[in-house]
Chains A and B, each alone.
Chain A
């Protein structure tokens, strides 16, 4: 092979290598957010899954002053909204709640059974950072978590470095879900008591 051809081939392979590395760098150097975030599961799919494919009709819980105050104490800001819808079948309830992580809301689905969290799933994540909360290594920590008298979780939830605000948002929503389940069950129990006495 003469020197001109060899030189040309070397130059070509150099150019192709350069392009390959540039593309690789472009992908690797993308902010993590561009490779994460989005809709992980549609709310209706989550509800259907929570009730083995046959979800009950939704109900609504109207928020009274006491509940709104409790929400504000947990969230550290007033809760916007006058009612929350939920799905309930016997001792199981499912909730879809939203809270802002850093700047955008995170949509999380909760299944509560017998006053304890059975399942937590991040349904929609809209931020560019903190999406690690969607993984089971984080959400599994909430399984069997209950609420103390002071409306704190009775289970320790480990933080994820770089996702503190997302972790906080999901933890707050878990407390809200347990509080709501508690309220719904209280209402149901008092209705049963009233009808049995009547």
Chain B
């Protein structure tokens, strides 16, 4: 006759749940403790400057900035945003091909549009140039007025109000050149782009809730929390069972010792 194998189901599932959820439970516990001591650990006054994390949160600009000098100011296009010095002016949907300061306006040339700013950087107008031309290659200046070179190549000079464009020859035009940002200028742009920045507290909170990995991360953390609940109840059950069995064993040994 074979001995019937005892099934200690609760213990087996207690062990399985624990092994499966160990990493998540550790994260839950550690981040939970950190959040309990937010003030002491200064989580709400420390900011993240790790590029990977900032990129993960979508507050690190993509690509390389392209800048031009416009008088005493710098016009930069970076990650679909137009900057006047370090201030974000507007969104961009096209590449920048030049910027210059004229008598009345700052002119920014895109692929098939012109953006006009005041000399103080206030947005005036965005104009599609498809009425006159497209495929802008570069921006220049002649008689203090903006000049556009297209891909044909043809050259167009604006009137004083930047309303209309006339064809001119390619003579005596001063073409704008890209400006290389200094480290300070680049840092100022980054600070402006990031806005208030990313607090360490935010990251810890998102890690604790699983939200750092999106909606599915939340469900995974929910599962870890349920696993923790299961571990608690199954642990209690196992403890209760063992205690009962120990009592039974002691009783048997006491009354059946020969």
A residues bordering B, Cβ < 8 Å? 42-44, 47, 57-60, 80-85, 96
Contacts and interface: CB of A to CB of B under 8 A. Distances in A.
26 contacts: A43-B130, A43-B131, A44-B131, A44-B132, A47-B131, A57-B163, A57-B164, A58-B131, A58-B164, A59-B163, A60-B125, A60-B161, A80-B90, A80-B123, A81-B123, A81-B124, A81-B126, A82-B118, A82-B124, A82-B125, A83-B124, A83-B125, A84-B125, A85-B125, A85-B163, A96-B128
Contacts of B124: 81-83
B225 interface: no
B122 interface: yes
A92 to B, nearest CB: 18
A58 B127 CA distance: 12
A81 B118 CA distance: 10
Contacts of B122: 82
Contacts of A47: 131
Contacts of A85: 125, 127, 163
Interface in B119-169: 122-128, 130-132, 161, 163-164
Contacts of B126: 81
A44 B132 CA distance: 8
Contacts, number: 35
Contacts of B90: 80
Main secondary structure of the interface of A (DSSP, over half): mixed
A42 B134 CA distance: 12
A44 B164 CA distance: 13
A57 B165 CA distance: 10
A80 B121 CA distance: 13
A83 B118 CA distance: 11
B255 to A, nearest CB: 74
A89 to B, nearest CB: 16
A47 B128 CA distance: 13
Contacts of A59: 163
A59 B161 CA distance: 9
Given A58-B163, A60-B163, A82-B125, 15 more contacts: A42-B130, A43-B128, A43-B131, A44-B130, A44-B132, A57-B163, A58-B164, A59-B163, A80-B90, A80-B123, A81-B124, A83-B124, A83-B125, A84-B125, A85-B127
Contact of B125 (A43, A44, A57, A81): A81
Nearest to B131: A44
Interface string B152-192: 00000000010110000000000000000000000000000
B129 to A, nearest CB: 9
A100 B121 CA distance: 23
B164 to A, nearest CB: 6
Nearest to B128: A43
The 9 closest A-B pairs by CB, nearest first: A44-B131, A82-B124, A58-B163, A42-B130, A83-B125, A43-B128, A44-B130, A80-B123, A81-B125
A58 B161 CA distance: 11
A48 to B, nearest CB: 9
Nearest to B118: A82
Contacts of B127: 85
A34 B62 CA distance: 25
Contacts of B131: 43-44, 47, 58
Contacts of A42: 130
Interface string B34-62: 00000000000000000000000000000
Nearest to B117: A82
A73 B17 CA distance: 59
A59 B123 CA distance: 18
Nearest to B123: A80
Contacts of A43: 128, 130-131
